Amino acid sequence: MAIVGSGIIGPGEAEYLDVVLRGGIKYRVYVNPDEPGVDFDLFIYDENGHLVEKDNSPERDALCFVTPLWTGPFRIVVKAERGLSSYQIRVED
C-alpha cells in the first residue's frame, strides 16, 4: 500500500478509513500531520470492532504496527487531540 488517505481535522475531530489487510503480514500504519504543535492519535479496529492497536501518545504523529491473524477489513481512526492540520495516512508492509 502506501498513502491510503489524507484529510484535515481539528481538535476533538476524527476521521475513519477502512482498508483490507492480509493475515500474517506485519503492517506499519503511520499518521503524519503537516503542522507542528498538534497531537494526532491513531486507533486500529478489526472487522468485529475490537481495538487491535493504538498510539495515543502526546506526540505530533502516531505509529502502530499490526499483524492481522486473518485477511479482512480493518478500520483506521485518526483523532486530533490538539491542533488543526492536514495529514496523510501511510500503510506499509
Per-residue pLDDT of the chain (93 residues; tens, 9 = 90+): 588 889 999 999 999 999 999 999 999 999 999 999 999 999 999 999 999 999 999 999 999 999 999 999 999 999 999 999 999 999 999
Expressed as residue numbers, the domain containing 50 is: 3-92
Q: Taking the CA atoms of 18, 22, 23 and 24 in sequence, report the sign of the dihedral they define.
A: negative
**From CA 78, how far away is CA 55, in angstroms rounded?**
10
Count of CB atoms situated within 10 Å of the CB of 26: 10
Predicted TM-score (pTM) of this structure: 0.93
With 0-12 / 13-18 / 19 or more C-beta atoms within 10 angstroms meaning exposed / middle / buried, residue 5 is middle
Helix H, strand E, coil C: the string for 50-75 is CEEEEECCCCCCEEEEECCCCCEEEE
User: What is the domain count for the chain?
Assistant: 1
- Give the CATH number for residue 71: 2.60.120.380
